[in-house]
Structures are given as C-alpha cells and as structure tokens.
Amino acid sequence: MTDLSRPTHDGRRARGYVMVFLALAAITAIELVMTQIGLSASAATALFLILSLGKATLVVMFFMHLRQDSRIYTAIFLLPVILVLAFSTLMLMSAGGH
C-alpha cells in the first residue's frame, strides 16, 4: 500500500487515503446491514467488535500515521488502550458476578 507519511508530488498518497476511507465506509455499511438481519446475539457482538477494532485500527494506522511514525507514539497510545481494555473487562466480569 502507498506510504502515507512521506511527501509525494503526485496524487498517490491522496489515493491511499481515499482507499482507507472507502474501506471504513464499506465496513460501516456492513455493520448497518448486519443490524437488519437476524444474527444470534453472541455472533453479532463478536462480529461488531471485530469490525469496530478493524475500523479504529485503520484510522490510527493510516490517518494518524502510526504505521510510519516513531514507535514511541505507538507505545504512548497503546499503553492506556491496554489499561482501558483491562478495566472494561474487569467491569464486565464484576457485572457477571451480580
């Protein structure tokens, strides 16, 4: 895929951004279609979480340029994400105990 961080003097980088946008729009459309069809709750939840993770990853990697930027930025961003995931999991586990 086109390197989206290095300056280019043609439209390659912009085309790369548009491709990422089209992927995000397509995933959102798939999510909306999935809400209209009868999926089991557990399957739907798993699929929605996977699609959401995919969308968030696309934005962070390509639009926020973490794919090419310093790994220090990645570490700064990922550490709280991991803590929040752990916190949310614990909250759900405590909810399951009620």
Residues making contact with other proteins (CB under 8 A):
4, 7-9, 13-14, 17-18, 21, 24-25, 28, 31-32, 34-35, 44-45, 48-49, 51-52, 55-56, 59-60, 63-64, 70, 72-73, 76-77, 79-81, 83-84, 87-88, 90-92, 94-96, 98
Q: How far is the CB of 38 from other proteins (least distance, A)?
A: 15
Residue 1 CB, shortest distance to other proteins, in Å, is 14
Shortest distance, CB of residue 70 to other proteins, whole angstroms?
A: 6
Direct distance between the N- and C-terminal alpha carbons of the chain, in angstroms, rounded to an integer: 48
CB 85 within 8 A of CB 53: no
Concatenated DSSP letters for 37-65?
S---HHHHHHHHHHHHHHHHHHIIIIIS-
| Residue 61 near residue 44, CB atoms below 8 Å | no
